[in-house]
Amino acid sequence: MSTVMDTDTDTAVDGAAGGSVAITGREKRLLRHAMMPHMLCPGCGHGIVLDAMLSVLSERYENLDNVAFVAGIGCSSRIIGYIDACTLHTAHGRPLSFATGLKLARPDLTVVVITGDGDGLSIGGNHLIHAARRNVDLTCVLLNNEIYGMTGGQAAPTTVLGAYTSTTPLGNTQHPFDAAELAKAAGATFVARSQSYRPQVFGELFSQALDHVGFSFLEVMSDCTEYFGRINRFGEGADMLMGQARYEPSIDADLARIPTVEPVTIKQPVRPVLPIGVLHRSSRLTLEETLGIEGGRSSGVAGGKVDDAVQRMNG
């Protein structure tokens, strides 16, 4: 599986590298080297998220044969093409539906869904709330760059008030979704938010989301430099990334303190200060458990009666 990659990595690393370790802990054996460099624009936050994700996966897994990445359509969903795992590139907005089917058929797999704000909240908004409601045992990572990047910078349901996009040339007049609150209300049992500016925080939260049994929802605030940043004059990739440092007070030692949200006025596109860290954690029976499918992880919640009821119904 990884023989080709090893040779590629060796040419890059050999020589003086003996006995030293990479500071990121990122192992490039998990990358599809034939696909690199990736197609993301210069300075795109999604690349940082992919990078941090690989660091976590390098720590946790020897290889990714039992990890499935499912994604829809969009810049964010495109990043699964660079991970050397079982990857499933599906219809626009429907990665969670495909992932639900995959998880029920193969409960032994670790299923991770990568989706974007357009893919997961507008076109696939229904699928998101129902996957959360069913509490399927999978991890959903939503990369929120507040715009439709791949199709030319149209306004997304997460675009902040007053922001300029190609479909809101006079400033956005519609309130954005709070994706994390939406998932929490819909029944997700693990809800967290991170930023591309803090890859280590993201890594920690991603690791916790993978550990959690049930529907884990992780929103990552990312940057679209070419469309969102350019049209709103947020500067280049580095400027946008450093702009995320405004979230500094929201970081707490336990990653769970929730700060106040600043009000945003129209005609002044300012990205809101959003809470970061673990926002919600609970335990419920997963869909596999209520269906009586064996081979998955146990949520540890008492609830055998549902299994019995299903069996009684089946006669």
Partner 1 sequence: MTVKTIDQPGKLVEQAGDSKEANEPAVSQGNLVLAGVGGQGIIMASNIISLACLESGLDVKKSEVHGMSQRGGTVVSHVRFGHEVHSVMLEPKQAEWIIGLEWEEGLRFLEYLKPGGVAFMSTERRIPPTAFADRLGGKIDYALGAGVPRGVVPVDTYAVAGEAAAERPVIAQTVLLGALSVDMGLSQETWREAIAATVPPKAVQANLIAFENGRAWYERWKKTTGSKPGSSIKANDIQRPEGVSPGAFRAGGFNGPDVSVKDWRGGMPRIEVLRDWCKGCNICVIVCPERVLSLDRFDIVVASEPDRCTACGLCARLCPDMAIEIWVDTPAHAGTGGE
In angstroms, give the least distance from the CB of 284 to partner 1.
34
List, in order, residues 6 or more apart from 314 with CB less than 8 Å away.
none
Least Cα distance to 32 among 80, 68, 93, 69 occurs for 80
Closest CB 49 distance from partner 1, rounded Å: 9
Q: What is the DSSP string of 195-225?
A: ETT-HHHHHHHHHHHHHSSS-EEEEEE---I
Q: Which of 47/157 has CB closer to partner 1?
A: 47
Q: Is the dihedral of CA 121, 49, 149, 232 positive or negative?
A: positive
Minimum gap (Å) between residue 170 Cβ and partner 1: 24
CB of 195 to partner 1, least distance (A): 11
Q: Are 128 and 96 in contact (CB under 8 A)?
A: yes
Return the number of the residue (52 or 160) whose C-beta is nearest partner 1: 52
Spatial distance between the Cα atoms of 266 and 257, rounded to a whole number of angstroms: 28
To partner 1, the closest distance from the beta carbon of 80 in angstroms equals 15
For residue 243, the minimal CB distance to partner 1 (Å) is: 11
CB of 145 to partner 1, least distance (A): 12
Please identify, using beta-carbon distances, which residue of 245 and 306 lies nearer to partner 1. 245
Q: How far apart are CA 180 and CA 13, in angstroms?
A: 40
Min CB(301)–partner 1 separation in Å: 37
Query: In the bound complex, what is the minimum distance in angstroms from residue 14's beta carbon to partner 1?
Result: 10
Residues making contact with partner 1 (CB under 8 A): 8, 11-13, 15-24, 26, 28, 31, 33-48, 50-52, 54-55, 197, 199-200, 225-226, 236-239, 241-242
**CA–CA separation, 46 and 284 (whole Å):** 31
Helix (H) or strand (E) holding 88: strand 86-89
Q: Residue 30 or 113: which CB sits closer to partner 1?
A: 30
Task: Give the helix/strand (H/E) hosting 194.
Answer: strand 190-195
> In this structure, what token pair is assigned to residue 83?
């991970």
Which residue's CB is nearer to partner 1, number 116 or number 157?
Answer: 116
Residue 264, classified by CB atoms within 10 Å of its CB into exposed (0-12), middle (13-18) or buried (19+), is middle
Could you give the C-alpha distances from 280 to 127, 129, 218, 275, 277, in angstroms and in order?
20, 16, 11, 12, 9
Task: Confirm if 205 and 251 have CB atoms less than 8 A apart.
Answer: no
Read off the tokens for 273: 């200060």
**Contact by Cβ (8 Å): 84, 41:** no
Q: Which is nearer to partner 1, 57 or 109 (CB)?
A: 57
Instruction: Choose between 121 and 241: whose C-beta lies nearer to partner 1.
Output: 241
Compare residues 40 and 279 and give the one whose CB is closer to partner 1.
40
* Identity of the residue, 19 or 300, whose beta carbon is nearer to partner 1 in the bound complex: 19
